[in-house]
């Protein structure tokens, strides 16, 4: 009988290669799954950061344009009005060359609240949808008196803001921000002689 | 078998940059978060100084130990209102800009130093400048 001369892998070689390939594939799949999870978490975190940053920038710009304007009904001058679910004030619009009310409304919900903004007679717009875990805004009016002075001192109005945004999945890092906003125009008006 | 082992090695090398890209993305988002907090801290400090009457904005250099919540601004009576953050260091410089012996503007520079990443020793710096006009002239 003629011996077979065809070269082939031995069983040991095939087993070793299969072992290496499965270890490599296992590691690659594990790494990829971890990275994928981390990536989607970061993507969600970035979305929250962007939502939060845009909201804070919008509110800050509005508050910096806030002014003390006489009430249209002839009542006392309106400044800022803050309730747990609403923040309202009067702004001076350079575009329209007149004052108009701005109202921020917070609608709390168990699965994530929303924030809305309305300017003048325009339709209310949604700034953040279903992602607000908590939101508080508090106004504080301080008066600093010089010692031994008979003057009225320096008045400072500020709005303390504490906000937390969360994704529904809850895997992402929540966006948390605590800061104070000082409406410059309003403060100048309050301190004007 | 040698060829297969080599090809697996090459494949691993090709895949490495792909995995590195994911982790770089994560790091960048962390940095953006820290930068945003530094930016917010700078605006918070800047706004409360700008909101003061011009005469109360006292020129000078103020370091991190002086700029604390409830601390006196200059020699008082105005007190700082600062949101506490252990990993942010604030400094501020206020300069007079004069013409013909009169102060026309105050130049305010706020600098915030912060850790590049949570627990990192690398420090990054963010600064913000503005001018306040003397409205009493």
Residues of B in contact with A9 (CB under 8 A): 1
**Cβ–Cβ under 8 Å, residues A131 and A51:** yes
CB contact A18 to B (< 8 Å): no
| Lookup result for tokens 């209310």 | A124
**Short-list A36, A62, A33, A31, CA closest to A127:** A62
Residues of A in contact with B33 (CB under 8 A): 45, 49
Tens digits of pLDDT across chain A (193 residues): 566 667 788 888 888 888 888 987 898 888 888 877 777 777 888 888 889 999 999 999 999 989 987 655 555 555 788 999 999 999 988 888 888 999 999 999 988 899 999 998 889 999 999 999 999 999 999 999 887 777 778 899 999 999 999 887 767 778 889 999 999 889 988 888 7
pTM: 0.79
Q: Is B36 in the A-facing interface, judged by CB distances under 8 Å?
A: yes
Domain ranges of chain A: 39-191
For residue B31, which residues of chain A lie inside 8 Å, CB to CB?
Answer: none
Q: Number of Cβ pairs closer than 8 Å across A and B? A: 94
Spatial distance between the Cα atoms of A185 and B50, rounded to a whole number of angstroms:
10
């Amino acid at each position: 009988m003629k011996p077979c001369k065809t070269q082939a892998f031995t069983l040991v070689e095939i087993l070793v290669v299969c072992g290496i390939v499965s270890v490599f594939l296992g590691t690659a799949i594990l790494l990829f799954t971890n990275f994928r999870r981390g990536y989607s978490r970061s993507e969600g975190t970035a979305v929250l950061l962007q939502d939060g940053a845009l909201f804070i920038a919008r509110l800050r710009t509005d508050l910096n344009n806030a002014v003390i304007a006489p009430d249209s009904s002839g009542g006392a001058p309106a400044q800022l009005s803050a309730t747990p679910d609403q923040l309202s004030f009067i702004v001076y619009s350079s575009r329209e060359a007149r004052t108009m009310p701005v109202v921020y409304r917070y609608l709390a919900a168990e699965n994530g609240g929303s924030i809305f903004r309305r300017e003048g007679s325009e339709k209310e717009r949604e700034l953040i949808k279903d992602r607000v875990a908590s939101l508080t805004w508090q106004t504080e009016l301080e008066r600093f008196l010089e010692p031994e002075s008979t003057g009225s001192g320096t008045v400072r109005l500020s709005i303390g803001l504490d906000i937390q945004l969360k994704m529904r999945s809850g895997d992402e890092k929540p966006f948390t921000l605590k800061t104070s906003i000082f409406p410059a125009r309003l403060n100048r008006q309050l301190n004007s002689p | 078998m040698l060829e297969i082992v080599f090809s697996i090695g090459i494949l691993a090398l090709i895949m490495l940059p792909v995995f590195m890209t994911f982790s770089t993305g994560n790091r960048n988002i962390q940095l953006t978060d820290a930068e945003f907090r530094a930016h917010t801290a700078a605006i918070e400090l800047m706004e409360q100084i700008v909101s003061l009457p011009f005469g109360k904005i006292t020129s000078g250099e103020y370091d991190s130990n002086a700029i604390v919540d409830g601390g006196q601004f200059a020699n008082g009576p105005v007190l700082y209102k600062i949101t506490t953050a252990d990993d942010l260091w604030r400094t501020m410089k206020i300069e007079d800009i004069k013409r013909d012996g009169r102060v026309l503007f105050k130049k305010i520079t706020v600098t915030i130093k912060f850790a590049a990443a949570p627990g990192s020793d690398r420090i990054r710096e963010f600064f913000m400048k503005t001018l306040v006009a003397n409205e009493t002239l």
